[in-house]
Amino acid sequence: MKLFMLFILLITTMDAIDLKKYDAQIQKLSDEEKYVIINKGTQAPYTGKYTEEKTNGVYVCKLCGNPLYKSSDKFDSHCGWPSFDDAIDGAVKRVRDADGRRVEIVCAKCGAHLGHVFEGEGFTPKNTRHCVNSISLKLEPKPHAKDTNLSYAYFAGGCFWGVEYYLQKLDGVKEVISGFMGGHVKNPSYYEVVRSDTGHLETVEVIYDKNKISYEKIAKTFFEIHDPTQTNGQGPDIGKQYLSAVFVNNEKERDTIKKLISQLEQNGFRVATKILDKSDFYEADEGHQDYYDKKGAKPYCHGYVKRF
């Protein structure tokens, strides 16, 4: 009986996803991502990154990158999962669920499991709710025309969990995303960065309103929440991926960082922080986002120290 059920699960999975075609992408998924996206599991309610996300943009499939939902179709249903009352035309396929009662939704391009769709609940005029697992999605931010004040900054200061924890608490910072930058491998997984020499640093992308907080203020805080003098990592985290660096978008940002480093050196600090040009930023998987907030803990190798 167990072998029969395993066979059914395998056939169902293969029918939903062309495993050979997406093998490289599947190998980079975490166990939790595979459980939901490949094996049609369900993420626990209120644990997903995008449940209450309000950033403007397009939600794409975590597995194949296919655009699925617009943020303008997202609404708060208080159900514990991201909810959308519409999908991008042709992007989402409906399939009768194995339980015979619900309707499953999958990515129309690769078959990745997204969640379920419900109708007749009356949440919005469209009377439809796509209940989607955050872990199946990736948000590609696209500021509204009226949101031209949103800017992006990139900092590497050891384990990205701690840097994210402190920077996202700044007034004017809209979101902080943990990921990787500076390497030579496209779309690296966390384990590739940790176990092999991909050249990436654990980096955070800071999305902020420049009318509420300046780049200099964020950068100054960055230099005070990690040790910019450590040359081999950060705290007990030793390795190339944990080095201190600022990835700058332009010469104005470069000049700002140089000024702050000069001030630190005048205060007696031998700064090891590198100034590098911004390159492709790769978002880490869901399990690495908002790590300390989810755990209800505080960083073990980051803390605020006044240096200016």
> How far from chain centre, in Å, is Cα 139?
8
For 66, phi and psi rounded to 5 degrees? -70, 125
Q: Is residue 215 part of a domain?
A: yes
150 and 118 in a single domain? The answer is no
Q: What is the CATH number of the domain that holds 283?
A: 3.30.1060.10
Statement: residue 182 has pLDDT above 80 = yes
pTM of the model: 0.63
152 and 248 in a single domain? The answer is yes
Catalytic, 110? Answer: no
Catalytic, 159? Answer: yes
Tell me the percentage of the chain whose pLDDT exceeds 90: 69
151 and 130 in a single domain? The answer is no
- Other CB atoms within a 10 A radius of the CB of residue 104 amount to 18
153 and 106 in a single domain? The answer is no
Among 101, 116, 140, where does a domain finish? Answer: 140
Domain count, the chain: 2
Q: Which of 61, 107, 110, 131 is catalytic?
A: 131
173 and 268 in a single domain? The answer is yes
102 and 185 in a single domain? The answer is no
Statement: residue 62 has pLDDT above 60 = yes
The 10s digit of each residue's pLDDT in 223-269 is 999 999 999 999 999 999 999 999 999 999 999 999 999 999 999 99
Which residues are within 8 A (CB) of 264 and not within 5 positions of it... i.e. 6 or more apart? 223, 228, 271, 307, 308
> How far from chain centre, in Å, is Cα 182?
17
Q: Is residue 118 part of a domain?
A: yes
CA nearest 233: which of 308, 160, 153?
Answer: 160
166 and 190 in a single domain? The answer is yes
Q: Is residue 308 part of a domain?
A: no
Q: Is residue 153 part of a domain?
A: yes
124 and 234 in a single domain? The answer is no
Which structure tokens are listed for 259? 């000024």
Among 140, 163, 191, where does a domain finish? Answer: 140
Q: What is the chain's mean pLDDT, rounded? A: 89
* Angle subtended at Cα 304 by Cα 302 and Cα 305, rounded to the nearest 5 degrees: 115
Q: Which of 61, 110, 159, 301 is catalytic?
A: 159
Q: What is the CATH number of the domain that holds 96?
A: 2.170.150.20
Statement: residue 272 has pLDDT above 80 = yes
Residue 17: give the domain boundaries: 2-140
> Which pLDDT score, from 0 to 100, does residue 148 have?
64
The 10s digit of each residue's pLDDT in 103-147 is 999 999 999 999 999 999 999 889 999 999 999 999 988 765 446
Question: Would you report the helix, strand and coil content of the chain in percent, each value rounded to 5?
Answer: 30, 25, 45
Q: Which helix (H) or strand (E) holds 7?
A: helix 2-16
Tell me the percentage of the chain whose pLDDT exceeds 70: 91
Which structure tokens are listed for 243? 């080095």
The 10s digit of each residue's pLDDT in 4-58 is 344 344 444 444 455 678 888 898 899 999 999 999 999 999 999 999 888 888 9
> Which pLDDT score, from 0 to 100, does residue 150 have?
86
